[in-house]
């Protein structure tokens, strides 16, 4: 089922803020939808505001994000967490990009939950698969303190960073799990236990759905943050999505301040229990996609 495929004049757009104010540092953002260009320049201090669509970060949340950015750049000198080495770029390419997932996520969750008699957003359980440096999971955890987050990452060094920064940021709604998605997806403690799974910059969709959908409960959502034109990936993943018990709900444009401009959020609805044989053994999904 596809509620909308956002493109052309009818596209849904989730715009990023005109101004970023974070921990006393301020960035002016100008989005040009017509020409596909985005410019970021430093400006003089302004009243604290952090408007990402429906998201307003309080001063304490802004401080938490500032702590994250500082720690990321510090640890990045000792391990490969991100190719971005500039504070401003971390803010625009990672923080803003992560928060931009929220509007399509929350809208899809509300619409579908209302259709089955739910809709309460408090206490949502979300797993960030292949969290890496904590993106988007850590940033979403700051923005939505009433939700429960699991950051799933297979590399021990990155898990050490995640455990450290969760403590530094004072986040009580985040757990870090250091394991492969194929193992966690077969564990009774995690299998079909989450309302929402998200993934950003992890794998092609025909591989990614096998990592993520086994973790999502029936009637839950999987949100994949993708590039400006994911339609080849979407088509290649159709067989895998069906086998894993899901269908595509919608594709939505998300304006990004990253180097490649517009991004998309691909939203899947988990309709049926995933067959027990999925996910397959570690390494198999990437070597032999469904």
User: pLDDT tens, 275-286?
Assistant: 999 999 999 999
Instruction: Yes or no: say if 5 and 38 are a contact pair by the CB < 8 Å rule.
Output: no
Residue 9 has pLDDT above 90, yes or no: no
**pLDDT score at 257:** 60
Span of 32-41, 59-68, 160-169 with lowest mean pLDDT: 32-41
d(CA 33, CA 27): 19
Q: What is the 3-state secondary structure (H, E, C) of 93-138?
A: HHHHHHHCCHHHHHHHHHHHHHHCCCCCCCCCEEEEECCCCCCCHH
Q: Tens digits of per-residue pLDDT, 94-137?
A: 898 899 899 999 999 998 887 776 667 889 999 999 999 999 99
Residue linked to tokens 């938490």:
64
* Dihedral of the alpha carbons of 243, 249, 253, 254, in degrees to the nearest 10: -90
- First-last CA distance in the chain: 20
What domains lie within the chain, and their CATH numbers?
Answer: 4-16+52-287 (3.40.50.150)
Distance of CA 139 to the CA centre of its chain: 9
Span of 25-29, 45-49, 65-69, 158-162 with lowest mean pLDDT: 45-49
The predicted model gives 140-157 an average pLDDT of 97
Give me the DSSP letters along 25-60. Answer: EEEEEEEETTTTEEEEEE--------EETTEE--HH
The predicted model gives 80-93 an average pLDDT of 82
Residue 29 has pLDDT above 70, yes or no: no
- DSSP 3-state assignment of 66? helix
d(CA 84, CA 258): 11
**pLDDT score at 41:** 33
Angstrom distances, CA of residue 14 to CA of 18, 84, 99, 162? 13, 24, 10, 28
CB neighbour burial string for 190-211, b if at least 16 within 10 angstroms, e if fewer: bbbbbbbbbbbebbbbbbbbbb
Q: The dihedral of CA 77, 23, 162, 285: what is its sign?
A: negative
- Pairing between β-strand 174-178 and β-strand 263-270 as defined by DSSP bridges: unpaired
Instruction: Yes or no: say if 162 and 231 are a contact pair by the CB < 8 Å rule.
Output: no
- At residue 258 the predicted structure's pLDDT band, cuts being 50, 70 and 90, is low
d(CA 209, CA 127): 13
């Amino acid at each position: 089922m596809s509620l909308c495929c956002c493109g052309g004049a009818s596209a849904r757009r989730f715009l990023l803020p005109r101004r970023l104010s974070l921990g006393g540092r301020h960035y002016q953002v100008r989005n040009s939808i017509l020409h596909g260009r985005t410019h970021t320049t430093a400006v003089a201090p302004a009243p604290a505001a952090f408007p990402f669509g429906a998201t307003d970060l309080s001063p304490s949340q802004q401080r938490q994000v500032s702590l994250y950015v500082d720690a990321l750049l510090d640890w990045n000198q000792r391990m490969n967490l991100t190719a971005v080495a500039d504070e401003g770029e971390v803010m625009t390419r990672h923080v803003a990009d992560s928060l931009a997932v929220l509007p399509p996520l929350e809208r899809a969750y509300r619409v579908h939950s209302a259709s089955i008699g739910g809709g309460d957003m408090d206490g949502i359980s979300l797993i960030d698969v292949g969290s890496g440096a904590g993106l988007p999971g850590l940033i979403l955890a700051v923005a939505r303190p009433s939700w429960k987050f699991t950051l799933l990452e297979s590399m021990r060094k990155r898990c050490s960073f995640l455990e450290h920064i969760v403590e530094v940021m004072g986040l009580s709604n985040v757990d870090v799990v250091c394991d492969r998605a194929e193992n966690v997806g077969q564990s009774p403690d995690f299998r079909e236990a989450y309302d929402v799974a998200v993934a950003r910059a992890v794998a092609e969709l025909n591989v990614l759905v096998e990592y993520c959908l086994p973790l999502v409960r029936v009637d839950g959502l999987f949100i994949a943050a993708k590039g400006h034109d994911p339609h080849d990936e979407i088509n290649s993943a159709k067989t895998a999505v069906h086998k894993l018990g899901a269908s595509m709900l919608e594709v939505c444009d998300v304006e990004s301040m990253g180097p490649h401009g517009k991004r998309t959020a691909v939203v899947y609805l988990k309709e049926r229990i995933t067959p027990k044989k999925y996910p397959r053994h570690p390494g198999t999904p990437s070597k032999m996609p469904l």
